Amino acid sequence: MSSTEKGEMRDGVELSNFCPRFHRAIELVGRRWTGAIIRILLSGPKRFNEIAASVPGLSDRLLTERLRELECQGVLRRTVDTGSPIRVAYELTEAGTELDATIRALSSWAERWVEIPPETAERGA
């Protein structure tokens, strides 16, 4: 009885109680465009223009803002290659890379459950 009062335990994660850490995490990755940016960076470091070109509808201003937030939160880092020309890239930190399991789980869920209008599907293909 006391275990159900405190919430159901399974796989070491207790779900039925509100968890401030989870709440922060979902608010971080759930911000508009943030999930798409992390998802693209999981395939490797990218330059600003590569990310911008990969996410239709994302403005440069918002991309800059999101990249700064993610850098602040320790999810990605900005690297500067001081060759000529100077090249700035964005890559996931260890924390960012470990979002892999979450992003893949949600990608699989979306494949199975999210329907999109045909014209959007064609653009995405």
Q: Which residues bind its own copies (CB under 8 A)?
A: 7-8, 11-13, 15-27, 29-32, 34-36, 39-40, 42-44, 54-56, 74, 95, 98-99, 101-114, 116, 120-121, 123-124
Nearer to its own copies, 33 or 78 (CB): 33
Q: How far is the CB of 84 from its own copies (least distance, A)?
A: 26
Contact, 77 vs 91, CB < 8 A?
Answer: yes
Q: How far is the CB of 106 from its own copies (least distance, A)?
A: 5
Nearer to its own copies, 49 or 107 (CB): 107
Burial 45-70 (b: 16+ CB within 10 A, else e): ebeeeebbeebeebeeebbeebbeeb
Q: How far is the CB of 63 from its own copies (least distance, A)?
A: 13
Helix axes 100-113, 34-41, angle to 10 degrees: 110
Contact, 76 vs 93, CB < 8 A?
Answer: yes
DSSP character at residue 57: T
Q: How far is the CB of 61 from its own copies (least distance, A)?
A: 18
Q: Give, in degrees to the nearest 5, the angle at Cα 57 between 53 and 62.
A: 85
Nearer to its own copies, 61 or 94 (CB): 94
Nearer to its own copies, 43 or 82 (CB): 43
